[in-house]
Each structure stands twice: as structure tokens, then as C-alpha cells.
Amino acid sequence: MNALEYLEKRLEKEQFEKISAIDNPELHGFLAKYIEHLNPSKVFVATDSPEDEDYIRKKAIEYGEENPLAMEGHTVHYDGYYDQARDKERTKILVPRGKSIPFINTLDREEGLEEIHEIMKDIMKGKELFVCFFTLGPQNSIFTIPAVQLTDSAYVAHSEFILYRKGYEDFKRLGKEARFLKFVHSEGELDERKTSKNIDKRRIYIDLESETVFSANTQYGGNTIGLKKLAFRLTIKRAVEEGWLSEHMFLMRVNGPHGRRTYFTGAYPSMCGKTSTAMVSWENIVGDDLTFIVNMKGEARGANVEKGVFGIIQGVNKVDDPIIWEVLHSPNEIIFSNVLVKDGKPYWNDMGVPIPDEGENHSGKWWRGKRDAEGNEIPPSHKNARFTVDLKAFKNLDREALDAPCGVRIGGMIFGGRDADTWPPVRESFDWAHGVITMGAALESETTAATLGQEGVRKFNPMAILDFMSVHIGEYLKNYLQFEKCLRIKPKIFAVNYFLKDRDGKWLNHKLDKAVWLKWMELRVHGDVDAIETPIGYIPKYEDLARLFKEVLNKEYSRKDYEKQFTIRIPELLAKIDRIERIYNEIGNIPKELFIILEEERYRLTKAQEKYGDYISPFQFE
């Protein structure tokens, strides 16, 4: 019996006809293999029709994975108390025996496949399997990567319909030509709250060879929504092999003079200002998380991999996040996860309004002062609580750019770090390679006392991508450096740091200053303003920033503030070069250009130090 014959025998007639309409034997074989192995009692195949999407939406409520809230379109989902984040320890890249990749949690491929198949044998017995088709990137475009998701979680399927573009018709159009990604997920046995029970058998295994991700005994989106960070590992590998970029970057439009539109990507580690930058209210968002960048006729063209937002909700408030706040309080289709619910309304930590003293949250019935089994006080909402919503709900969405088949031309790339004493608030690289190495490959983020208990520890995180890397970082950087050589129009590269402090520990940036840095970068992309050359790149002139602060924020900007912010801090910059160089020396197989560029920067800094001293006013370079 071949795969299609097996599927005809196993599936209801209507569901089989949906599959047989796709002329792809590889797909048929994949579905037959895993339907037999997972052994569900029922299979539902979702096409691109609104009726099929609505079926899954209703099943999420019927099966108890989501509950309706008071506002139309809003539901809440709870993950298990110990299933609230990406499981880094048990997320593993499957590799050939004896192979290892720096910074990456790997497992022998044969051993991993044997283990996950044993865990998932008959795991869907008595349950319904949803077969869903999506695309990464805009449909029917140069960016399109088809993907098929198998899951017994209506919540996971529902989330993906919000976050990704439907792909059934693309599978039909591509037929045998579809080179698709595959995702197999089961939430496993559920407890009385309909949350995953067997957390000890939680596994997330990524098989690069077959481009398949397996996820078992978990519901949390970061472990289960296959097309997000799990697919990201697969697309990074593809990009390196094929000579394009798959990046952990927002994509946004900065609006310049006389209606000019300039598009930027931005890579920032967690808690470094990525979302707040992409959501500046008078600019326009295209995507908040993942971007594909390809060479198209000598231009770097970018597209949002997704069409929705799976965002952290803690701290979202009316003053700092007016656009997100409006979305969350309007009758959009939204899945809230792991928040507090009282009388059908969701509440979350640090939202700027009074929070009830009791309700239901990720721990079950909750009251203020409740503690968990380890004696920890349980907050109203989990710190990793989320909201899932379509980008079309945001009034500042650049709708035309979101689904443009050719994407948008990238004018600038921004790398945002977090440090108290080294980088100035904004600067521009001398060229592509200088930016890739000294800004992207050298990216660090300081930990905060509030989250990790020890403040100021610098965490190395090149391109904000280290947690998701699936290839050797040397290969990744080599591809980045090579990518520029194909470009006729090269994006400018910038670095930002919103967390600089003076020697007394006072912040030197205000929360909204980033809006001014964006406007300055936009002007630099088009050569509208000059800049000051320093040993680490180009920085703004005082006069330009003073004008922009007045125009953008209606604020006076003093020469004293400028001087404090843009002083070149030689000892700290030299120490950073030493740190970064040491890390890459220990890794090995790194492009020699990295060490050459770092040494050139060290030489410029040392010469400036000899001439001007350790701390150099920006006015000295004019």
C-alpha cells in the first residue's frame, strides 16, 4: 500500500480529498508515516478557507485549551505551571554522530530520532490531529517557504492561523516543487486544566537533515508553534547554504522628509528595546521579530516572515505603549496566555491599572500572596505571559509592505545592545564589514538585577541570534560578509544603545530618545546630514540632533547632554575588543576579516587615546 492509498483508507473522504488535491508524493509520505505513528482517532485537514480556520478556532474552546473572555474575539489560554517558557535544555539540534557546534545544544541524530519516535508512538490515541498548511514569508513570492504543521493542539493551530499566512493553495500551486518544512507536535496527556502533564518527557528536537521539528509534551508557544523560533533554526541553515539572510530582526518604516519611506531592520537581544523601537507610534511597523533578507537585482530586500505578533505582555501600559494598549482593548481576535482573569477581563503585571486581588491564572485559582510548591510567591500574571494577534490590528502597520511579493528595500540595519558604559546612543559604521563585525558580531547585552539577580553581567549575543543558531557561527559570519559583495545598493549599518549611564549611575537616554536616533539614521541613509568621524564610526553632529529633538519630541537638547552621551570611552571600548576577540579566538574557524577589523579599530582607539586621553569629547573630532 503506497502513502496515498493508506491516507485514503485512514482519512474521512472529505479530508482525503483535500490532501489528494496536492500533487506532492513527499508530502503524502510524510503524512502517512506520522498519522500511522501518532495514531489519532480523527484527522482534520485545514485548507485556506475561512470555514476551516473557524473549525479550529471553535475546537480550541470545545477542547478546553482556550476560554472566551468578555470582549468579542478575546480568549485566554493557560500553559502548565512548569511549562511557561522555551525549554532550552531539552531543545536540541540533531547532528551526525561526533559533530558539535559552538553554543548549540546538540544530540546524535540517530539517538534523538529514536527517542522522540518512542515518546510520540500512539501519543495522539483518542485525540484529533490537525494538519495545517502555512508559508513563511509572503505567499507566492521570492520569500515563500511552505510549511506543514501536524498538531493535536487546537490552541497551537489557532495561534499559527493568527501568526502566519495560509499555505494550502501554495502547496497546490507548487506541487512536486514544494520544498517544505515539517513540524510534528503533540501536547501529550493533559491534566484537568487541559495543560500538558508529562513535562519530564518534554522534548523539542530539530532535525536539520530532513528539515523536521518534533515537539512533545508541551503547549507553550515557544516550544510548539513550529513556524516561529523552531523554523528559524531551519531557515538560518538554508540561508547560509543559499547565500541570503534569515535574521532575528524587526522590519519597520521610518518616515523621512516630504513623504519619503525608508525601511530598517533591527536585531536586539531581549530587554534591549527591540519592540519599543518597532512600535514608535509615528513610524510604521512591518514586523516585530523575524525577517528574511535576499539579494534582488543588487538590492537587499526584506520581508516579514510572519503576519502576527506573539508578544510579551508584561509591562505593556497605556502611556508607554499606546498602540499595543489600544489593540489589546479592542475587539480583535486575540489569544491571551498565562495572564490573570477576573470577571472575563485579562490583567497582567505592570499594566498601570489596579489589578484584582483574586482570579484565575496559570496556577489555577489565584489570590494575592499565594505561593507555589517551592514557596515562591505567585504573581498575578506570569512574567512571560503573552498575547497573540494579527498585525492588521495595529493602526501603524504598513499594510502594503507586509505582503509585498518583492519585499521592501532595506535602507539600514540596526544592532541594539545594552551596556551602561561603552557604546554611545547611536553611531554609523564605516562600511558593511565594519558594521557586521564591530556592531553585529560584537553585540552584548547586560543582565538586569530585576530579572537575573546579578546586574551588569555582559552576555555575548551576536546579531541577537545565538539562542537560535543552527550552524557554526564562523559559517554564519562568512555568509553575512559575502552577502554584501552581491549588492549594488548597500544598506548602512548602525548601532544603538539606549542604556548608557554617566559615572554617577544616572541614565543618559530618555525612553523616547530612540525616536530621534531613528530620524537621524534615516537622514544618514540618504546623505541629508553630515556626521563626525570617530575611531568607532560616524556619530551625529550636535546641531542636527538639537534640531531633531525639537522637531520630533519638542524638547530642548543641550550641548552638555550631547557631550555626555557621545563621549568616546576609550578604556571601555578597548576592553570590549579584548573580550570579543578572546571569545572568537576560543571558537575557531572564524573568518580572518573579523580579527583584522577588530585590530584596525583597536589601532584607531589607541591613537586617539594617545592624542586626547581616555575620554574624548565628540567636539574634539570635529
Q: To which H or E segment does residue 301 belong? A: strand 299-304
Burial of 516 (0-12, 13-18, 19+ CB in 10 A): buried
Cβ neighbours for 254, distance < 8 A, ≥ 6 positions apart = 262, 263, 264, 283, 518, 519, 521, 522
Q: What size, in residues, is the chain?
A: 622
Per residue, the 3-state secondary structure of 419-453, as one string, reads CCCCCCCEEECCCHHHHHHHHHCCCEEECCHHHHC
CB burial of 288-317 (b: ≥16 within 10 Å; e: otherwise) equals bbbbbbbbbeebbbbbbbbbbbbbebbebe
- Residue indicated by cell numbers 501536524: 150
Q: Is residue 179 classed as helix, strand or coil in its secondary structure?
A: coil
Question: Is-catalytic flag, 132?
Answer: no
Distance CA 539, CA 485 (A): 25
Which residue of the set 132, 272, 406, 486 is catalytic? 272
Strand 91-95 to strand 203-207: parallel, antiparallel, or no bridges (unpaired)? Answer: parallel
Give one word for 369, left, alpha or beta, with left for phi > 0 and alpha for psi -120 to 50.
Answer: left
Beta strands in 498-616 (DSSP E): 532-534, 537-539, 568-569, 615-616
**The three cell numbers locating residue 219:** 503547549
Residues taking part in catalysis: 272
